[in-house]
Amino acid sequence: MVILGLNYYFHDSSSCIVKDGKLLTAIEEERLNRDKHTQKFPKLSVERCLKDSGLKFSDVDHIAVSIKPKHNRGKKVLFILSKMFSMLKSRSLLRFIGYQIGYPYLKQRDFWAWYNEHWGTSDKKPKVHFVEHHLSHVAGSFFVSPYKEAALLGIDGAGEWATTWIGHGNGLKINKISENFFPHSLGAFYEIVTQFCGFKPNYDEGKTMGLAPMGNPETYKAEVEKIIQVDKHGRFKMDLSFFNPQFVGYSEKFVSVFGKPREKGAPFEERHKDVAAAFQRVLEDKVLQICDILYEKTKAEYLVIAGGVSLNSVMNGRIVRESKFKDVYVMPAAGDNGTALGAAYYVHNGILGNERNYVHDNPYVGTSYSNEEIKKVLDGAKLSYQYVEDICEHAAELLEKGRILGWFQGPMEVGPRALGSRSILANPAFPDMKDKINSEVKFREAYRPFAPSAIVEAKDDFFDLKVEAPFMLKVCNVLPEKQKIIPAVTHVDGSARLQTVRRELHPRYYDLIKALGERTGVPVVLNTSFNIQGEPVVESPKDAIRCFFSTGLDELVIGNYVLTKTAL
């Protein structure tokens, strides 16, 4: 049985193939069309997923779409009627109606046009399932988690209308405990401060998370806490007077309390940093409060969390350290990109009732290129290169000398974090390495931190984290005595967004880190995504070569080939 999973409604369009319960491949459309966070229908990724899986369109039995367009439509209409006067006054009514009612219609029309193109005249048509957005997020994540039973928490900006979903999973059974609905949204809560700090909301929240440790959360914490109140059932209410009439962005009241917003590109004032710090801290506190309630209601030992807000790895780190749950599973593509997988598994396990037979612990399910394919591209571009048999040892030697590498190896990761297949790597022991990569390679803000990847055996020697973090979604503290040893991956507050690496998942990446450790005594590398700001992570050898020659990278290590710009 073949299930094609699709996400394309809001952002981060993606596709996946699940065959007999096994995930064969998953690809984000942005990697192929080069439009970051694309909303376009994932035609390219569907075709590539089928090709890489050795399948044809006629082999598809079910299509799982991670949205149910008509779900909660009545709630939308009632909300629009209740807010009609204020939205008319602000001239936002037509825009709001267009996005909430018209936009889903257009997206559904795109789907059926594509569907009819491939199956309109076919005798065998796949059955289409439109799955609620939050079930695609959290129930689908649960079905591929390592836990038979878990508490479930989904948090994002909004799905069809719901913004937060809490429940309990046991085997194949999913029990919803409660939901929150728009405009009461923790995702919107964080988007508002992202916009206030001069970033693009629903796009640059990672920048806000990186900025927050630069400020003092106590300066504005009391004011920010007034915006959200959590009840005994884990639901919350927000003071909507801080939002503008269409509930996207800050209001005049917000500005009167927190001051003038930062203009894009302008210097940061201490106030902007303090506001970011306060919103980050309050988000963590409120989610921890919800986690405590969820634990009491379920008594589950483990938590599965999904949705765009679950990409806030600082928050996840606090859940691991401070909640009553033993550990937290966050799928590597925990945002909307992962709802293609979630919808597919909700159909496979939740609707069709198949037994669970797959754990999504391997993020390397994207495209890959052989040495022969890479060599053909290099020769076609008339580039000079060196073939190296022991590529891990050679790359470790380069890192030891302070070189910055583009690293392109094996199947591509799914999700927003580079996990050692499409990465930029450097030696974290060099104190100036963070600034050098930000300015010369990534072309981004100087305060932005970089993450460490460490072999799992070295985790406890450098980091204060009791569990593993294979997907780089749990922030922890660097041990005080090791912060000066790996300064380039230690943030200003002593924290790091750690990735723990096991050899069975990515042998070549593990061997590289281990080889560097044997040379330097530090089996840790600085790892950031192989792209520049504003572009998707590289997917193909051509993408990697283009990025290599347009940035300050020293070497490109691609398969067993090495390209060098300057002499050592």
Closest CA to 498 of 528, 531, 463, 466: 463
pLDDT in the model for residue 105: 80
Strand pairing report for 524-529 and 149-155:
unpaired
pLDDT in the model for residue 246: 58
pLDDT at 497 > cutoff 60:
yes
Q: What's the one-letter identity of residue 357?
A: N
Mean pLDDT, residues 501-516? 97
pLDDT in the model for residue 72: 79
> What mean pLDDT, rounded, does the chain reach?
94
- Tens-digit pLDDT profile for residues 246-290: 556 889 999 999 999 999 989 999 999 999 999 999 999 999 999
pLDDT in the model for residue 568: 59
In whole angstroms, what separates CA 98 from the centre of its chain? Answer: 27
pLDDT at 245 > cutoff 60:
no
Strand pairing report for 236-238 and 228-230:
antiparallel
C-alpha to C-alpha distances, 530 to 64, 153, 163, 291, nearest whole angstrom = 30, 31, 32, 34
Domains of the chain are 2-135 (3.30.420.40), 145-330 (3.30.420.40), 371-564 (3.90.870.20)
Cα–Cα distance for residue pair 529/535, rounded to 1 Å: 10
Q: What's the one-letter identity of residue 271?
A: R
- Tens-digit pLDDT profile for residues 297-313: 999 999 999 999 999 99
Could you tell me the pTM of the whole model?
Answer: 0.95
Where residue 36 falls among pLDDT bands split at 50, 70, 90? very high
Closest CA to 140 of 160, 115, 167: 167
Task: Kindly report which listed range (27-41, 97-111, 215-229) carries the lowest average pLDDT score.
Answer: 97-111
pLDDT at 211 > cutoff 60:
yes
Number of H helices, E strands in the chain: 21, 22
- Tens-digit pLDDT profile for residues 311-329: 999 999 999 999 999 999 9
C-alpha to C-alpha distances, 362 to 143, 414, 499, nearest whole angstrom = 15, 9, 13
Q: What's the one-letter identity of residue 12?
A: D
- The residue that leads in pLDDT, 208 or 71, is 208
**Where are the alpha helices (H) located in 120-204, listed in sequence order?**
133-134, 140-143, 186-196
Where residue 14 falls among pLDDT bands split at 50, 70, 90? very high
pLDDT in the model for residue 248: 64
Closest CA to 469 of 500, 426, 423: 500
Mean pLDDT, residues 171-179? 96
pLDDT in the model for residue 64: 98
What percent of the chain clears pLDDT 70, i.e. is strictly above it?
Answer: 98
pLDDT in the model for residue 442: 93
Pair of tokens at residue 33: 């069309």
Are 166 and 294 contacting, i.e. CB atoms less than 8 angstroms apart? yes
- Tens-digit pLDDT profile for residues 407-455: 999 999 999 999 999 999 999 999 999 999 999 999 988 889 999 999 9
Cα–Cα distance for residue pair 332/338, rounded to 1 Å: 8
- Tens-digit pLDDT profile for residues 535-563: 999 999 999 999 999 999 999 999 999 99
